[in-house]
Structure 1
Amino acid sequence: MEFRIYYEDTDAGGVVYHARYLGFFERGRCEFLRERGLSVRELADRGCIFPVVRMEIDFRAPAVLDDLVRVETEVLEVGKTSFTVGQQVVRCLDGKLLVGGKVTLVCVGPGMKPKRLPAELIQALMPEMP
């Protein structure tokens, strides 16, 4: 997923404010699922929401105003109730890795109780499975 860095994304130093990357990662995960035929909204309407339970982030280089960046997402692990993805923010102009991260989400239902990942989500995360 590509997008441009706007003034609202930057801090007083003119670089992307560190917390904005959390939102960039979120957009990247939603688009990753959308590309695989799933809607986060439809899953939520069916009683499955996916809070982040763990996140590791490495800030390598700054993105700045007007940079065109890309969020890349790959599946690292799929469990019964959770999954982990690796995500990167890369500057499109030169392919430079700006931020890398690892995000674990758990599927929960009513009362925030963990529940099994829906079959269609597992299929989207692990398309090579029968």
Structure 2
Amino acid sequence: MQSDNKNPVFSQVYRVYYEDTDAGGVIYHSNYLKFMERVRTEWLRSFGYSQHELAKEGLLFVVYSIALRYLAPGRLDDELIVTATVKEAKRASFVFFQQIYKQCVDGDNVLLCEGDVRLSLIDGVHFKSKPLPVGFIDKFLS
């Protein structure tokens, strides 16, 4: 998996806490999804949108599919760089390419996990697919 587009990359730094790890101090596999969700939410917020406000308008983004690769373990107290970039946009969905790195002091960051996350827009009342508003995705690709 890799992003072959020129769309902007959004990133945030997060710390790995005890609650994110298993008994061995390694990030529990499903918690990588939490970090990815957080950075997508902050990405949306950086454009002036909040999940809460969109929901009031009857618009919900739901994860339609995920494909991940785990490449190295993240551990307790690591600082993570979590990225998101729009890889593909369609009528009612778009795909993020996301990566999670362990931030290293020497700058030689280690890729821990990467994957594609497809989000669909649905009507919050009927839970049916809904087209993205005109111009919505264009804001994120410029």
Q: Same fold per TM (> 0.5)?
A: yes
In the alignment, structure 1 residue 112 sits paired with structure 2 residue 123: no
- Counterpart CA distance in 2 for 1:35 and 1:77 is 19
Percent of residue pairs identical = 42
In the alignment, structure 1 residue 25 sits paired with structure 2 residue 39: no
Task: Map 1:14-53; keep pairs closer than 5 Å.
Answer: 14-53=25-64
- Counterpart CA distance in 2 for 1:21 and 1:121 is 27
1:86 aligned residue: 97
Q: Which runs of 5+ in 2 are unaligned?
A: 1-11
The amino acid that maps onto 2:109 is: G
SS of the residue aligned with 1:8?
helix
Higher strand share: 2
Deviation beyond 2 Å, 4+ runs, structure 1: 118-121, 123-127
Higher helix share: 1
Q: Which runs of 5+ in 1 are unaligned?
A: none
TM-score calculated relative to the size of structure 1: 0.92
The amino acid that maps onto 1:80 is: R
1:103 aligned residue: 117
- Counterpart CA distance in 1 for 2:39 and 2:121 is 18
Q: Please tell me whether the aligned partners of residues 15 and 65 of structure 1 are also in contact (alpha carbons under 8 angstroms).
A: yes
Task: Map 1:34-73; keep pairs closer than 5 Å.
Answer: 34-73=45-84
